[in-house]
Amino acid sequence: MPPASAIQTAPFAYTDRPTVTLRRVNSGTVFNIQSAGFDGSNIFLDPVTITDPGSYFLFIDPLNQEIGSATVSLYTVNDIATTVDTLNDPVTITTTAPGQNANLAFSATAGQSITISVSGSSFAQGRCHVNLQDTGGFTMASGDCTGIGPWSMTQTIPLTGTYTVVVDPVLSSVGSLTISVRAQ
């Protein structure tokens, strides 16, 4: 998968937060690609993979008649793709760019009970999610990547195939954690 770009703005010098939208212009037509979310005092757009030709720009629309300034940062984001075994061997993941996710693939057999354990997280509570995705990419289970302490979740595998543990930090969060998967 090609790298994607994430966009983060530093705190705005506006009284109220403006609307921020990534737009594309092609043959004179403007297309809204993605709108931003709020991340504390920052505004953040999740990574977008540019696949269509045209000129892209950020549209910053202040509320009412406000004026102000903004600092914009653009990140090239490459998600982490690796494997994890089902022997309970730990794998440490570190995200270094806002919007970066980690995908840990493993093979499992129908009927197996799989326990995913998370420890050593540097993410603040509520600032990262761990998702177990099935062979079709649908989320089977989810938990918080909280830095409060180690935790685990157990699921029964419905179909034989490749499953993925997705570490998905919230908005611009970055950090590290250790994951292990155990099959019973």
- SS3 string of the chain? CCCEEEEEECCCCCCCCCEEEEEEEECCEEEEEEECEEECCEEEEEEECCCCCCEEEEEEECCCCCCCCCCEEEEEECCEEEECCCECCCEEEEECCCCCCEEEEEEECCCCEEEEEEECCCCCCCCEEEEEECCCCCEEEEEECCCCCCEEEEEECCCCEEEEEEEEECCCCCEEEEEEEEEC
Residue 41 banded pLDDT, cuts 50, 70, 90: low
Q: What is the pLDDT of residue 66?
A: 77
Residue 9 banded pLDDT, cuts 50, 70, 90: low
Residues facing 14 on adjacent strands: none
Rounded-to-10 torsion of CA 16, 37, 69, 15: 10
Distance CA 6, CA 8 (A): 7
Residue 149, pLDDT > 90, answer no
Q: What is the pLDDT of residue 5?
A: 57
If you average pLDDT over residues 26-42, what whole number do you get? 75
If you average pLDDT over residues 8-14, what whole number do you get? 51
Residue 26, pLDDT > 90, answer no
Q: 69 is written with which tokens?
A: 């300034």
Total Cβ atoms within 10 A of residue 45: 24
Interval 80-131: pLDDT, tens: 999 999 999 999 999 999 899 999 999 999 999 999 999 999 998 888 999 9
Distance CA 183, CA 65 (A): 59
Q: 67 is written with which tokens?
A: 């004026």
Percent of the chain predicted with pLDDT > 90: 48
If you average pLDDT over residues 162-179, what whole number do you get? 94
Residue 44 banded pLDDT, cuts 50, 70, 90: confident
Q: What is the pLDDT of residue 2?
A: 53
